[in-house]
């Protein structure tokens, strides 16, 4: 999963700026998906064109929501002039605009859309974490929560596409005992982050220790109250790279959110997924600095 590659170049200082950024992101996604849809239809792949047209329509719906929110809160449409710095890349078509349509497929298209929504979630989580004003923090958290909902919806659609394209169900899965595995992965991540914090700068070390403490807390909570995840895949040997492990945990929480029916358990894994995506975004951006000579 590819999340934010660089930290945002600035901070959001007003709701007007937040609405402008949100509108710009949704407009870009709606436009790019529409362009890909047009190409797929021109190349004679109407089924895939419909997938991208639906994605474009969804993003246009998100844009309409942002515009309505801005009108209701500030009495006007989002103003692009309010954006004071270059936004990090949150949309990536992963070559879909130039790849032979026969090589794309609905599953690949939806996988790309999932990753785009995950990047958008990571961005709004970062904005919320660095917001100086409570109203900006709340608004950014609202955007992040909506993006997480979009991730869950697209993952369900992607799963349907997988079964449709491959004509098979996932097999070889272990019993409903995903909680202890998640706990073990969180504890392992804490053990990997702790020594890195010792050689990091004061600010980075504080953040890494915070992530390590948070991972231990998650592990303890999952051990005390396990979450039974139907069809949880075996973990095998967990990776030694903290970024890879954080990515694995993020994927596991999102997968659990796809299948859980119990409202309490679903709420827990959604909260864990949100924290895991935000954690992964930061680790991807900052950990490479610790390994430079």
Is the domain of 150 the same as that of 211? Answer: no
- pLDDT: is 82 or 277 the higher one? 82
* Residue pLDDT, tens place only, 160-173: 777 776 553 333 22
Is the domain of 98 the same as that of 34? Answer: yes
Is the domain of 121 the same as that of 262? Answer: no
* b/e per residue 51-89 (b: at least 16 CB within 10 A): bbbbbbebbbebbeebbebbeeeeeeebeeebbeeeebe
pLDDT band at 135 (very low <50, low <70, confident <90, very high): very high
Radius of gyration of the chain (CA): 20
Is the domain of 114 the same as that of 29? Answer: yes
Q: What domain count does the chain have?
A: 2
Ranges 46-50, 86-90, 128-132, 190-194: which has the least confidence: 86-90
* Residue pLDDT, tens place only, 176-220: 443 448 899 999 999 999 998 888 888 888 889 999 999 999 999
Q: Which of 227, 289, 225 is nearest to 252 (CA)?
A: 227
Question: Six-digit token pair at 183?
Answer: 């706990």
- CA triplet 34, 122, 179: central angle to 5 degrees? 115
Could you tell me the residue range of the domain that residue 282 belongs to? Answer: 178-290
For 29, 128, 281, 289, the CA distances from 286, given in Å and listed in that order, are 27, 18, 9, 6
* Residue pLDDT, tens place only, 231-276: 666 666 778 888 888 888 887 887 787 778 888 888 898 889 888 8
Residue 131 is part of a domain; what is its CATH number? Answer: 1.20.1260.10
Instruction: Using the Cα atoms of residue 211, residue 214, residue 220 and residue 223 in order, give the sign of their dihedral.
Output: negative
Asked if residue 253 is part of any domain, the answer here is yes
Is the domain of 23 the same as that of 143? Answer: yes
The yes-or-no verdict on residue 287 having pLDDT over 70 is: no
Is the domain of 196 the same as that of 140? Answer: no
User: Residue 226 region, left (φ>0) first, then alpha (ψ -120 to 50), else beta?
Assistant: beta
The rounded distance, in Å, linking the Cα atoms of 276 and 186 is 10
Asked if residue 173 is part of any domain, the answer here is no
Mean pLDDT of all residues in the chain? 80
Asked if residue 2 is part of any domain, the answer here is no
Predicted TM-score (pTM) of this structure: 0.61
Asked if residue 1 is part of any domain, the answer here is no
Instruction: Using the Cα atoms of residue 22, residue 151, residue 253 and residue 94 in order, give the sign of their dihedral.
Output: negative
Question: Six-digit token pair at 115?
Answer: 């990753």
């Amino acid at each position: 999963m590819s999340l934010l590659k660089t930290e945002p170049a600035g901070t959001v200082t007003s709701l007007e700026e937040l609405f402008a950024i949100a509108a710009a992101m949704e407009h870009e996604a709606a436009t790019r998906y529409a362009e890909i849809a047009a190409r797929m239809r021109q190349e004679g792949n109407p089924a895939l064109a419909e997938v991208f047209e639906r994605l474009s329509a969804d993003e246009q719906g998100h844009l309409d929501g942002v515009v309505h929110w801005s009108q209701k809160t500030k009495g006007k449409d989002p103003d692009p002039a309010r954006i004071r710095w270059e936004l990090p890349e949150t949309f990536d078509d992963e070559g879909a605009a130039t790849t032979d349509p026969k090589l794309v497929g609905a599953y690949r298209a939806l996988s790309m859309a999932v990753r785009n929504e995950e990047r958008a979630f990571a961005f709004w989580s970062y904005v919320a974490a660095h917001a100086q004003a409570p109203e900006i923090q709340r608004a950014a958290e609202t955007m992040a929560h909506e993006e997480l909902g979009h991730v869950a919806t697209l993952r369900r659609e992607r799963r349907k596409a997988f079964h449709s394209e491959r004509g098979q169900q996932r097999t070889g899965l272990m019993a409903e005992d995903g909680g202890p595995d998640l706990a073990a992965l969180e504890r392992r991540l804490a053990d990997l982050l702790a020594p890195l914090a010792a050689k990091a700068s004061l600010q980075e070390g504080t953040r890494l220790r915070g992530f390590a403490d948070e991972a231990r807390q998650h592990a303890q909570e999952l051990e005390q109250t396990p979450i039974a995840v139907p069809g949880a895949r075996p973990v095998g040997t967990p990776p030694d790279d903290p970024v890879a492990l954080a990515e694995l945990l993020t994927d596991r929480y999102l997968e659990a959110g796809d299948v859980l029916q119990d409202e309490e358990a679903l709420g827990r894994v959604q909260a864990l997924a949100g924290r895991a995506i935000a954690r992964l975004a930061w680790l991807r951006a900052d950990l490479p600095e610790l390994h430079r000579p």
